[in-house]
Structure 1
Amino acid sequence: MEQSQPRPSSSSGGKPQDSGVLSREDFDGGPVSIDEVDTGLFLGNLTAATHMETLRSFKITHILTLDSVPLPQHILEASFLTTKYIQIADMPREDILQHLEGCVDFITTALAQQGNVLVHCYFGVSRSSSTVIAYMMKRHNLDFLPAFELVKAKRRFVQPNAGFVSQLKLFRRMGCKIDPNCQRYKIHRLRLAGEQMRKAKILPQSFHSVVRPDPDITRENPEPIVFRCRQCRRVLASKSHVLEHKPRDRPPQEEVTSSKVDQPQEQIDNPSGTRVLEQLAERIRQSSLGSPSHEGAPKYCRSILFVEPIAWMHRIMLNTQGRLYCPKCEQKLGNFSWINACRCPCGETMTPAFYLIPSKVELSKAVQNVQTTV
């Protein structure tokens, strides 16, 4: 992580030499702005974080920075300060969620040590306020809106951007921690990976974890419910790999946006028979999967099986879109796209989309050794 360098002295009257390194001294954050949101917890702007008199006046012992550039070196090296730096821009598509848990822990530790902590970004409006809201949600067991209003009452112009608001709500839904098994979190990570694929045309190593291990490889505790290739019965996905969605009516054609949306090839090849087959398949699924444990459960759509990317899917890390083939018998199973949305026959869309055609796979309850065509 790049550290800022001291600004060359200009006391001789000459201009500072341009080292080519972007440093925090190159910016002006405006007047000092700082507010106490909770006992010992302050929210402010860059100027407050770089003004020694302000830091000493408010007895600041810890500084949490969320910005594109770190604090000046003389602040970072101050003997009375403990600092933490998160490099992040104030953009809705930035992933602040991955940092929230660590930031909340930093604030909690600082306050537990009877310290005073200043959380800041450039203006103290979006990035830093998002972190303080996350802390308030966890500390006081609040949903997003009450926590936001509590912070806003102390600092009237706080306003996380729309993307950060969505991530804060997800953070709360997960219990103010990262739950890798939460479906919404999986989709969040996939969308971030899709953005990277759109830019680089290759999946960065930092996102390789979104591609799940091949469930056909023997593991100590394999999941009891799996999806197999209907032709060769090779295990393709576990139940936990499925990204569930509830069916909804297809939107009218005029409401469909101009952005590219892929339709499953089976619909295109045989549009007239698709509905009948879907209805018949649904009846079969309900009768075969119906049990006391399923009666009260929400009815999820099975017209298309959206799944997480899985290791057997050939070249998905190197291509933005393509077809999915069984790794054993090479039968076509579905399609994938990191960059375009796929619309299910029920009207729901998914982006990125990795889907299996239901007629090509079967559900296997391994414990009872029962297979059911999906």
Structure 2
Amino acid sequence: MALLDKVSGELQLYIGGLFTLRRKESLRTSGITHVLSVLRFIPDQALFDGFEHHVVEVDDVDDENLLEHFPACNKFIQQGLDGGGGVLVHCAMGKSRSATAVCAFLMQRYGVTPDQALAQIRETRPLCEPNEGFWKQLELYHSIATPEDIEETPAYQRWLYQRELELSRACAQAPEAEKIRFEDEHEQEESAGTSKPARSFIYRILPDPPYGRTLATSQYLNEHRARDTGKPSGSCSHYFLDPLSWMRKELEQGKLDGRLECPKCQANVGKYAWQGMQCSCGDWVVPGISLAKGRIDEVKSRPLTATGLGIRQPPQAVVVRKTGSGHENL
């Protein structure tokens, strides 16, 4: 009787397809005590008699959220191994969903990358290949250090938000108001370890006299690249940024696109299009939430304190203001 495909290494961890469950003699010989089923199906309960069984009902499609199940799957696998038995992880073909779940477990246990985890699995089961969507989820899981509580992780919440935007775009609808993520409202919880650019500018409307309403800091700008050169598009006519709380009244109206007004003086400062918009550099930005460079001014702000506590200092007194003849310092 052929043996099961054991993941290379010290662990009694096995991977296979649905038909593996019918190889009763191999299961017994391998000491399998726990079975993790990663697929959507109506199970024949007789197949699981004598096993601890956990089911994760997901399809093998790119937009399926398997990431949310990683912590529970890891816990189940670890419980089986701690009990001294073997653990079988299977899906329909033993190729994509099961491989993704095993990769996630190896990443958390050993601190390895997705590539390293998959290479270890392929030593004994070369056909394993997570689909593109699952692979991106593994990369995200690795980037946030494989947390046990993934639901409250800011990066995971942003990823869910992007999925909502993609769904809304596919349906040609604006996202539901309660699902819009206003990034400045999450600033405190994400202040540590952020990958956003450091705060170096304040973008604000500048009337005369020079007192204005702060619209955004560079923390919330979204970089994109010019289509022809691939270089950062510093010469573009718009700044693209995340949704911010001062835009709430407009963005929650359920419109696909519209204008953004300064909340202080109601001047037109930009526009938005949930389905995306084309920048002057030729790149297509989704969603397109932008401030027109010709309608705002950049004000340098002081850097963060050396303590790294994220305390923002008042802006410097030097303000660069666009004029008809060029620039003047105020």
Q: TM-score, normalised by structure 1?
A: 0.61
Matches within 5 A, 1:14-29: none
CA distance in 1, matches of 2:51, 2:86: 11
Q: Name the amino acid aligned to 1:324.
A: L
Unmatched segments (≥5 aa) in structure 1 = 1-31, 256-297
CA contact (8 A) 2:70 2:104 kept: yes
Q: Name the amino acid aligned to 1:198.
A: R
CA contact (8 A) 1:36 1:42 kept: yes
Alignment-derived partner of residue 251 in structure 1: 228
Alignment-derived partner of residue 370 in structure 1: 316
Alignment-derived partner of residue 137 in structure 1: 107
Residue by residue over 1:162-202, the C-alpha shift from the partner in whole angstroms, topping out at 9 and shown as x without a partner, is 232233233323333459555xx677444412222134525
Q: 1:80–1:66: structure 2 CA closer, same or farther, 3 Å change rule?
A: closer
Alignment-derived partner of residue 353 in structure 1: 288
Decide which of 141, 152, 167 is 1:196's aligned counterpart: 167
Q: 1:173–1:224: structure 2 CA closer, same or farther, 3 Å change rule?
A: closer
Decide which of 312, 315, 318 is 2:246's aligned counterpart: 312
Find the residue that maps to 2:32 and give its secondary structure: coil
Decide which of 166, 169, 176 is 2:139's aligned counterpart: 169
Q: Name the amino acid aligned to 1:370.
A: Q
Find the residue that maps to 2:251 and give its secondary structure: coil
Pairwise CA distance, 1:73: 4.9
CA contact (8 A) 2:276 2:284 kept: no
CA distance in 2, matches of 1:102, 1:341: 39
- Aligned-pair Cα RMSD in Å: 4.1
Pairwise CA distance, 1:154: 1.2
CA contact (8 A) 1:190 1:352 kept: no
Q: 1:75–1:354: structure 2 CA closer, same or farther, 3 Å change rule?
A: farther
CA distance in 2, matches of 1:80, 1:170: 32
CA distance in 2, matches of 1:163, 1:69: 21
Matches within 5 A, 1:186-265: 188-200=159-171, 201-203=173-175, 208=179, 210-212=181-183, 214=185, 227=202, 229-231=204-206, 233-245=212-224, 248-251=225-228
CA distance in 2, matches of 1:66, 1:127: 6
CA contact (8 A) 1:121 1:128 kept: yes
2:88 is the alignment partner of 1:118: yes
CA distance in 2, matches of 1:204, 1:165: 28
CA contact (8 A) 1:197 1:320 kept: no
Alignment-derived partner of residue 86 in structure 1: 56
Q: Name the amino acid aligned to 1:352.
A: P
Residue by residue over 1:251-277, the C-alpha shift from the partner in whole angstroms, topping out at 9 and shown as x without a partner, is 18xx9xxxxxxxxxxxxxxxxxxxxxx
Pairwise CA distance, 1:42: 1.3
Pairwise CA distance, 1:90: 1.4
Alignment-derived partner of residue 268 in structure 2: 332
CA distance in 1, matches of 2:27, 2:270: 59
Alignment-derived partner of residue 43 in structure 2: 71
CA contact (8 A) 1:33 1:45 kept: no
Matches within 5 A, 1:47-66: 47-49=19-21, 55-66=27-38
CA distance in 2, matches of 1:124, 1:139: 21
CA contact (8 A) 2:7 2:124 kept: yes
Q: 1:128–1:96: structure 2 CA closer, same or farther, 3 Å change rule?
A: same
CA contact (8 A) 2:15 2:99 kept: yes
CA distance in 1, matches of 2:138, 2:280: 28
CA contact (8 A) 1:97 1:168 kept: yes
Q: TM-score, normalised by structure 2?
A: 0.68
Unmatched segments (≥5 aa) in structure 2 = 192-197, 302-311, 322-330
Q: Name the amino acid aligned to 2:276.
A: N
Q: Name the amino acid aligned to 1:193.
A: E
Pairwise CA distance, 1:136: 2.4
Find the residue that maps to 1:154 and give its secondary structure: coil
